[in-house]
Structure 1
Amino acid sequence: MKLDIKRFTEHALLVSNVFILFLIIFFDRIAVPNWLQSIGRMHPMLLHFPIVLLLLAFFLEFFRFKTFDTDKKSSTNFSTNLLLCGTLLAALTAIMGLVLSKEEGYTGNALFWHKWAGVSVVFVASTIYWLRTRPWHKIKVAKIGAVIVTACLIIAGHYGAILTHGENFIWEPIISTSKTATVPIDQAKIFEHVVMPIFTQKCVNCHSTEKAKGNLILADVQSLLKGGKVVNCLFRETPKLAYCWNVFIFL
């Protein structure tokens, strides 16, 4: 990487870290304009690139200390540039994620762990980049840093998958947690045995306690009765619809 480009990238990384820290400190006071929300929604599209680059960079980091590496300067420069690009992309991804989380409906433990694991990836990887040329940065320190970043990536990815696809998305085909006992048709309740399973399979990914789009939670009857932003507006305009909704739930 040319010196001018590398210097610009390093400055961009430093600014990104400061901006992330600013977003975290003043998160509750920040109002995101509509045009910026579109940038935040690019978070799922960009996040795969820094994951690959960082994992590859920390994998190559171990070879920097091997005696059989005949061209250490070239390999060190390559791994350094790879780490720099991966960390900068991770920082941009974290910024987009923080902007996206300002939209309504993102709450709960999954968001908490996803956010802090992602931010930790940026801060730890940035620290490693800026300190990796120090004399005390040997293979043991490199291993510890690689393990920490990898663990944060796994945690962030796991809870990100919960936010996007719901809980047990990966293991659901194996453990089949969503299966319920078969009920005879003459004993079945319309809502409990017919409608609710559909909500569970198709709707709770975006309407659960972890991610409540439109403030509507479809995970249980109590939350359904509370309605949501759009549903409550409809109920105020058409009281008969609210009555039918309550009757339908208890059928």
Structure 2
Amino acid sequence: MAFLALIELLGRMHPLLVHLPIGFLIFGIFLIFYSKKENNLLPAVRLAVILGLLAAIASAISGWLLYQSEGFAFETVRGHLIAGVITSILSGWLLWVSHRRTAVDRSIKWISAALGIALLITGHLGGNLTHGDDYLVEVLPEPVQSWLGYEPEAPKPIALDPDQWQEALVYEDLVMPILQQNCVSCHSPKNKKGGLMLTSIEAIQQGGENGPVLTKENPLESPLVARMLLPLDHEDHMPPKEKRQPEKAHIELLKAWIAAGADFSKTLGAAGIEKNLLIPFFKKESIPDFPITDLPPIPVDSLKVFAEKGILVEPISLDNSLLKVSCINFADFTDADWEMLEGIGSHIAWLDLSGTAVSDSLMVHVAGLPNLTVLKLSNTALRGILLEKLNANTNLKRLYLNQTEVDWNTLEVLKTHPSLMGLFAYNTPASKSETPDWAKKWGIKLETGGYQLPVVETEKVVY
């Protein structure tokens, strides 16, 4: 065991050792082209080339040990290996020729030029192994990358439709993106560490040098998951601790997939994956589009008066004259204070009155806001008796009534709203009672809570 550890240690010294021959040989090449008849530097050239050749041999040995211990595919290291051998041969040839000359001549310069090119190619291919073959070009603009023949391929995003999640494919829409994000940097045709590739169904089913990585219906016996659950500093933990680690939700999904038989073609519904495991993968709610208007922007100086009252008023974007208004720092804001906002009412697109002292009577004023798109009334004394007034807000798309006293009878008046897309009513009488049939069939995003996240294995670990 100690001997194997020593071999692996020597292999991992390869990235350190390769800089020695590069430095010595570049120094020797510089001396060759700097050398003149009147200042013959050939003895110094010989010394530099000897040291470079010895360091190149040591680097080649450590590189071979690294290749054996880290499980790189030969196709991955072949170019770097061949270029390294050529570099060593040219170094030896330059040393032999320099010992047969009394001064730097044309033949020495030609050999040193070829050696310089070989060094450049060897170093470039070695850098590709460490950082990826797009390391130098990934910082360039995409049109330049395309011109150079590089088409960056981002991992497939995970974004399930909350309403049609059962139709998504478990492997293609979830498992494959998780592996792309966390595993394929080490287990691809380029690296193939441990003889394992996770880039195709066939490769996953085949496994690696240590056998299969999936034990169907037994995730804890499947190396693909079992290694992720090991302590981070365990030598068998995967991915390595210096690499990106999968999220808890990723691991739980992989476990559920394997427990359901690790089928590569089933949908989430057919595989029986529970919805509560999928909540982290649902599409995040985006801010709805705001109306397009020709309203003139309100001067910034005119908005400062609101800040003095504790009201945040700011443009919703740099290219839109509509405003975002928030009174969350003005808890004493009441219906009587609405007159402060009347002058900018036509510009208000986002209104947050959460946690204030407003009442149902305010709905009469809110109904007169022609461009209101988002309305937040959470944690107020609202009972919803005047919610029908909001039907006049033909641009309203999101309504937040969390922690209010609204019930299904008061919410029913909104079922014919012309533009409402989402209604949020957590911790309300409505959320604590059975959802009526009309609400279940309502064509909007209706959220009343009641979700429970599962306890994952990693939360049970005591450190």
Question: CA–CA distance in 1 between the matches of 2:266 and 2:137?
Answer: 32
Q: Deviations over 1:32-51 (max 9, x none)?
A: x6133321221112111211
Describe the shift of the 1:210–1:90 C-alpha distance in structure 2 as closer, same or farther (beyond 3 A). Answer: same
2:114 maps to 148
1:63 maps to 34
Question: CA–CA distance in 2 between the matches of 1:236 and 1:192?
Answer: 18
Match of 2:180 among 194, 197, 200: 200
Q: Which amino acid aligns with 1:141?
A: S
Describe the shift of the 1:219–1:116 C-alpha distance in structure 2 as closer, same or farther (beyond 3 A). Answer: same
SS at match of 1:179: coil
Question: CA–CA distance in 1 between the matches of 2:115 and 2:105?
Answer: 15
1:209 maps to 189
Describe the shift of the 1:51–1:135 C-alpha distance in structure 2 as closer, same or farther (beyond 3 A). Answer: closer
Q: Cα offset for 1:58?
A: 0.8
Q: Which runs of 5+ in 1 are unaligned?
A: 1-32
Q: Cα offset for 1:246?
A: 2.3
Q: Is structure 2 residue 131 aligned with structure 1 residue 165? A: yes
Q: Deviations over 1:181-219 (max 9, x none)?
A: 878643865543555345335432321223222221122
Contact 1:110 1:160 in 2 (8 A): no
How high is the sequence identity, in percent, across the aligned residues? 30
Q: Which amino acid aligns with 2:153?
A: S
Question: CA–CA distance in 2 between the matches of 1:161 and 1:87?
Answer: 20
2:201 maps to 221
Q: Which stretch shifts more, 205-214 or 166-175?
A: 166-175
State the structure with bigger RCO (CA 8 A, min sep 6), 1 or 2.
1
Describe the shift of the 1:217–1:131 C-alpha distance in structure 2 as closer, same or farther (beyond 3 A). Answer: same
TM-score w.r.t. the length of structure 2 is 0.40
Q: Which amino acid aligns with 1:127?
A: W
Map 1:98-247; keep pairs closer than 5 Å: 98-103=64-69, 105-135=71-101, 139-174=105-140, 175=145, 177-179=152-154, 185-186=160-161, 189=169, 191-230=171-210, 232=212, 235=215, 238=218, 244=260, 246-247=262-263
SS at match of 1:172: coil
Q: Cα offset for 1:164?
A: 2.4
SS at match of 2:136: coil
Q: Which amino acid aligns with 1:82?
A: A
Question: CA–CA distance in 1 between the matches of 2:214 and 2:169?
Answer: 25
TM-score w.r.t. the length of structure 1 is 0.69
SS at match of 2:114: helix
Which structure is higher in helix share? 1
Q: Which runs of 5+ in 2 are unaligned?
A: 146-150, 223-257, 268-463
Q: Deviations over 1:60-111 (max 9, x none)?
A: 11122x24xx432xx3332221222122111110111122222362224331
Q: Is structure 2 residue 93 aligned with structure 1 residue 93? A: no
Contact 2:21 2:53 in 1 (8 A): yes
Contact 1:163 1:205 in 2 (8 A): no
Q: Which amino acid aligns with 1:76?
A: L
Which structure is higher in strand share? 2
